[in-house]
Amino acid sequence: MRSQTKILSLRFQLSKGATMNADRPFCPALGNYSWWLAILLWAVVSTSPDLFGQALTSLSGTVTDPTGAVVPGTTVILDSIERGTKRETTSDESGRYWFAQVQPDTYQITARAPGFRDVLVSKVQLLVNTPATINIAFEKLGVVAEALTVTSQAAQVNTTDGSLGNAITAEAITQLPFYARDPIGLFFLQPGVTNFGGGIQGSEINGAVNGGKNDQANITLDGMDVNDQDQKQTYSVLRITPDSVQELRTTTSNANADQGRSSGGQIALVSKSGTNEIHGSLYDYHRGTETAANGFFDNMVGNPKAPLLIDVFGGSLGGPIKKNRLFFFANYEGRRDRSGASVLQTVPSAKLRQGIVQYLKTDGAIGELSPDYIKANIDPLHIGPNPAVLQLFQSYPSPHDNTQGDGMNTLGYRFSVPQRSKQDTYISRVDYVVDSAGKHTLFWRGNLQNDHAGGVPQFPGDIPSSVGLNNSKGISVGYNSILKPNLISTFRYGFTRFGAESTGIQPAGAVRFTGIDDRYALTTGDARTIPVHQVSEDLAWIHGAHNVRVGGVGRWIRNIDIRPAPFHSADIRANRLKGAAIELEANVPDLPADSGSYRDNMVAVLGLISDAIGNYRYDINGSVLPLGSLAKNINGNNEYEFYAQDSWKVTHALTVTGGFRWSLMPPFYEGTGAQTSTTFSLNDWFNQRMALAQQGLPQYTVDKITFVDQKDPRWRPLYPYHKKNFAPRLSLAYSPQANDGWLKSLTGGPGKTSIRAGWGMFYDLFGSTVAHQFIGNQPGFSTSLLNGVNTLTAATAPRFTGIYDIPSQLIPPPTKGGFPQVLPDTSAGYYLIDDTLKPPYTMNMNLSVGREFGHGFFVQGSYVGRLSHRSLLQRDVATPTNLKDPASGMDYFTAASQLMRLGFANTPTAQVPAIPFWENLFPGAAGNGLTATQAMYNEYKGWNGDATDALYDIDVYCYPACSKFGPFTMFNQQVPALSVPSTLGKGAYHAMQWTVRKRFGEGLTFDLNYTWSKSMDYSSRPEWTGAFGQEMVVNAFSPRQMRAVSTYDARHIFNAWWVWQLPVGKGKTFLNQSNRLVDTLLGGWQISGLWTQSSGLPVTAGNGRAWPTDYWVAGYATQIAPVPGGSDTHNGNGPNLFSDPAGAYAAYSRTLAGQTGQRNGLRSDGAFGIDTALSKRFIMPYNEHHTVQVRWESFNMTNTARFGCVTPSRGNPAQFGKYSCTLNGPRVMQFALRYEF
């Protein structure tokens, strides 16, 4: 058993140590562009709507007389009802008026012109980032003292630009049932946005917008950037509570030039501010075990319901400090979780822990090998099952879940453990109207959070594997100035600081088994602090029919990462033994050629340690750091963006908006000086390797990979500084102005219909994770040395004695530090940088027709397209080459594939014909009555589809023989794999999208969206997914083989949200004259909810434990027959993707050398969920503006289980197609009490 007395606990004060190295200035020079850009940024127009425009809006319209003629010179006054501020403008010669850079709020509009009676338009709600149009008509002549009051709302029809997206007000945000109480969740209820919950392979699925990757969303709060600058997932690093949000606006396609720091969805939130009236709330939300359902799989294995106890509570208060001039708002929200977390682990079966190994026989029956049989007939040393291994296996809990493992030797263990967490969020805002005319306004907003999250143990009875802390914080300051009626300046400064840390419990290097979860958690701690300073300035100039905006933004980002140096590690893995331990199959009766997981389980029972990796860290002087010691890196980046845009009202019906955005984003750098680079381009090196292979020459002649530090003149930045990232944008909006006839009947009249088209070029935001992953493990400061791979056999491999007992003879000693540093020949795989990276970009386009109907209904149909270029993907530039035989013209992939086909057909060795490639290049393999081809055939057949491990034996260890050139003819001598990010991908998305919307009126508001789409790409993985993760290119020589539907391609997506105040009670349609008692009982009821439903996501059949093309990337299985249709989610063995798993398994074969296999060829279960809220509001007898609301919310109201976590694999026939989790959780009810005033 493991001693838990020695525990590595990493704990930091994140508020300390956040300074940069003194020799790297905070704002470095900008190369040839030098300081004039910085001066321009600060002193003139350094803005970005990311930081300003996304917190504001605009209003325009046309003033006409009773005959329809325009009325120039009309005074138009915009008056904030809640804050008492006013703005004034005058209509031009065409009768147009325009208010730019307006704070979202509820306004009253007053129009005055000589000889006409004043027109007052009341209760006009202007939404963030949603240009509004209100036309004003003087109805008759009259004296100025007379006024005509009308009620009007800004048209829902966008008649200004081609952008697509929706705005959602505070009422909907606070009244909708959110499981996580995160307003950003409304982003997932927009057309074209994927949302599949947590039960999916990789979180690259949720938040993908219109075919774009989910790391390209951009989130702002009051115009300030609150994104995760490292992983860039779709969430805010500052917690935003529903009660602190005034409004949320999403733009899913074709944002204008004043937006679009990245190519994904733009999410703009505006925080609440104080008004002239005191307003606020007190609330408490409670979830408990008694009103929650059990999870599907917990039910299946007989587990009781996990405890559930969540309390969310808080309050808000806003009002005037000085009427009409100074306002405040504050919100506190706490959350306390004392619930059980469900954990699923793979553990040894009851028989495996006794030393009995099971396998599928050729007839499909299960065979068993007893410990005595293993000792006598399988183990070459006749030791038999390893006592230390069996003792360890006995310490695992007994399995009871058949959705995990191979279904025989390994199974699942599902359990619930207590998990505690605490969250405290503080948000405040102050607004100040500097002058009585309201021409100068200031605001300050601050966010602070203090979180403590307890981790879960590896197994019941263990200590938690980690504890997480978060103390992120941020402030923003804004200054709006009306310099002239037609010239408005908006300045913003923001500071957002993400701070998080976690502890770990790994005490030393460990030995790990294949296919079995670690008995004890091997977690190490880390700490990250990311301070971001932002400055922006925006100028809006209105000149006649033109609304011109220019601006820019600067961001100064520092990613401070502190983590311990990694421990050594060792593996118990069959494919790392010489010949994949094929000798262990010699005496197994009826073992099929595709032996599945047999070898891994036999190697595990024998405790054969196949290899070890020595991990070493060095300081800047080249000295080796002690294992587990802390290393600190500071990744810095400075971003500068500029834009110019003109919105031109060509006519009353036609508006053309055009502009461009220019992004200057230098490469990331390491701020302490610990940054290395290769002496040459890895892309050029890869091309050199390909050229040698095409000439039939060996790989050992390729240049040696050498790293230098920044003092060396050969040092280069991570990737080039691209200074030509110009992104043009263009959109048209046409709104028919018919006042009568059939055209009015069709279009609804002026401003009721809009035909819009948009096109834009958008650059992906990239570089932060690339830098983080490379700099944290860069050669010269971090070295991983591999020892033992494919050299040890079942007879020579050291035997397991304990988890933390790595045989010392397997641990390679550290190489010498310092620079230049030649990559050692025994290196493990690395993550490096392709320094030919170019910024990825997309071409976005859309065409939409929208029509507003009576009672606030709006319908819009759209075509949305995206063409992605230079998309980021991962490839292995050290992959074994496709060597060409000059004599015959045959290449390696062809020759190896011929052997594999013969092996799959179980062809006798004597019947294998000569293949020129093997005969010409590997003559030394001939002998013992075998041709060179036949000798190679035996090697490949033994590896059963694992072509690169067979090639590793041949090309590195000359087993059975090397080529005529010697070793390392196709493998690189220094390293077997180098994962590098490259911008070689492409993608395309096309969709039809429909929206039906009703703005709030008559007690009802809702959005209903439908998307029918198809997305294709080479790889859907975002930048943050790691070195050798999912969807890495399998054949680096042919990335196009990866082209398939995107991993987040959902053909059909439906979603909706609604808030309905039932029309019963005083002032309503029914019982509107009721007395207080009747109104108290029957009035004030409300129903709100969310609905999501979609078709299934793509699923890939894995190639099992076989690597046909790349040494570290297995790729996908190849479909060779039709897959039986249908799925089975109700059988006794657990839900399955296939109605006939055995038939589906037979429809796939192992993939041939040089091929990728079929990516994303299957479809899994689709998502479905309905969340509802039923509430009753009571008006307090002492003040009608004080109310108490009682809420009953149900998440997954129908308790529907839709399934995920499915990874069918050729290496695991017994579990082929089994689901192991649900996309959504079980039904949970929440009860709330809200007091609002």
Give strand pairing partners of 927: 930
Please say which residue of 102, 119, 151 terminates a domain: 151
Q: pLDDT digits over 679-733, tens only?
A: 999 999 999 999 999 999 999 999 999 999 999 999 999 999 999 999 999 999 9
Give, in order, the Cα–Cα distances in Å from 135 to each of 661, 743, 1015: 31, 19, 41
Per the listing, tokens 């690395």 go with 830
| Residue 795 belongs to some domain of the structure | no
In a domain, 66, yes or no: yes
pLDDT for residue 260: 75
734 compared with 126, residue with greater pLDDT: 734
- Of the candidates 668, 660, 638, the one whose C-alpha atom is nearest the C-alpha of residue 762 is 660
Residue 460 inside a domain? The answer is no
Whether pLDDT at 24 is above 70 = no
> Do the Cβ atoms of 137 and 218 come closer than 8 Å?
no
pLDDT of 191 reads 96
Evaluate whether residue 934 is within a structural domain. yes
Tokens of 1101: 């059949």
Calpha distance 1032→30 (Å, rounded): 34
Strands 245-251 and 510-513: unpaired
Higher pLDDT, 1074 or 960: 960
Average of per-residue pLDDT across 256-272: 90
In the block, which residue shows the tokens 């088994």?
513
- Distance between CA atoms of 501 and 204, rounded to whole angstroms? 23
Helix ranges, 695-763 (H): 741-747
Residue from 135, 256, 137 nearest 735 by CA = 135
Distance of CA 598 to the CA centre of its chain: 36
Structural domain contains residue 167: no
pLDDT band at 291 (very low <50, low <70, confident <90, very high): very high
Say which DSSP state 583 is in. Answer: G
- Is the bond preceding 960 in cis, omega lying within 30 degrees of 0? yes
Residue 125 belongs to a domain: yes
pLDDT of residue 810: 95
* 621-635, 862-876, 1084-1098, 1143-1157: the lowest-pLDDT one: 621-635
Q: 572-606 burial, b for 16+ CB within 10 Å, e for fewer?
A: bbbbbbbbbbbbbbeebeebbebbbbbbbbbbbbb
Dihedral sign for Cα 1063, 1067, 1073, 1075, please: positive
Cα separation of 647 and 730, whole Å?
Answer: 10
Q: What is the largest CA-CA distance in the chain?
A: 115
Question: Helices 387-394 and 598-606 sit at what angle, rounded to 10 degrees?
Answer: 110
**Type of residue found at 1119:** Q
pLDDT digits (tens, 9 = 90+) for 41-83: 443 333 333 333 447 788 888 898 887 888 998 999 998 888 7
Which of the listed residues 97, 132, 151 is the one where a domain comes to its end? 151
Q: Give the pLDDT confidence score for residue 353 in this predicted structure.
A: 97
pLDDT above 80 (res 226):
yes
Judge whether residue 1018 has pLDDT over 90: yes
The DSSP output letter for 525 is: -
Rounded Cα–Cα distance for residues 402 and 413 (Å): 9
What's the Cα-to-Cα distance from 803 to each of 1, 781, 795, 806, 955, rounded to whole Å?
9, 28, 21, 8, 33
Mean pLDDT, the chain, rounded, equals 90
Q: Which of 654, 847, 848, 853 is nearest to 745 (CA)?
A: 853
**Helix, strand, coil distribution of the chain in percent, nearest 5:** 15, 40, 45
DSSP-assigned beta bridge partners for residue 511: 570
Which whole number is the average pLDDT over 814-836?
A: 89
653 in any annotated domain: no
Cα–Cα distance between 53 and 643 in angstroms, integer? 12
Please give the radius of gyration of the chain, using alpha carbons only, rounded to the nearest integer: 33
pLDDT, tens digit, 9 for 90 and up, residues 412-439: 999 999 899 999 999 999 999 999 888 8
The count of C-alpha atoms lying within 13 angstroms of the C-alpha of 729, restricted to the half-sphere facing its C-beta, is 25
For residue 742, what are the contacts with CB-CB under 8 A and spacing of at least 6?
A: none
Residues 117-162 pLDDT 10s: 888 888 888 887 788 888 888 876 654 445 555 555 556 789 899 9
Token pair for residue 962? 């090397």
Residue 350 tokens read as 């009851």
Range of the domain at 901: 892-969
Q: How many domains does the chain have?
A: 2
Residue among 895, 912, 905, 1038 at smallest CA distance from 954: 895
Decide: residue 478, CB within 10 A, 0-12 exposed, 13-18 middle, 19+ buried: buried
DSSP 745: H
Give the number of other Cβ atoms within 10 Å of residue 897's Cβ: 19
> How much is the average pLDDT of 1134-1143?
93
pLDDT reading at 1000 higher than 90: no
What is the per-residue pLDDT for 42? 40
Report the alpha-carbon distance of residue 170 to residue 331 in Å, rounded: 14
197 found inside a domain: no
- Does residue 614 carry a pLDDT above 70? yes
CATH of the domain at 77: 2.60.40.1120
Is the pTM value of this prediction over 0.85?
yes
CB–CB of 610/792 below 8 Å?
Answer: yes
Q: Where are the beta strands (DSSP E) in 794-889?
A: 821-822, 830-831, 841-852, 857-876
Inter-helix orientation angle 932-943/892-904, to 10°:
70
Position of tokens 């620079």?
Answer: 819
Res 44: pLDDT: 36
Single out the residue in 969, 985, 1015 at which a domain terminates.
Answer: 969
Q: How far apart are the first and last CA of the chain?
A: 60
Q: Quick one: how far is CA 423 from the chain centroid?
A: 23
Residue 45 is given by DSSP the state: I
DSSP element (H, E) containing 1033: none
Q: Residue 244, SS3?
A: helix
- Interior/surface letters 1176-1192, b for 16+ CB within 10 angstroms, e for the rest: bbebeeeeeeebbbebe
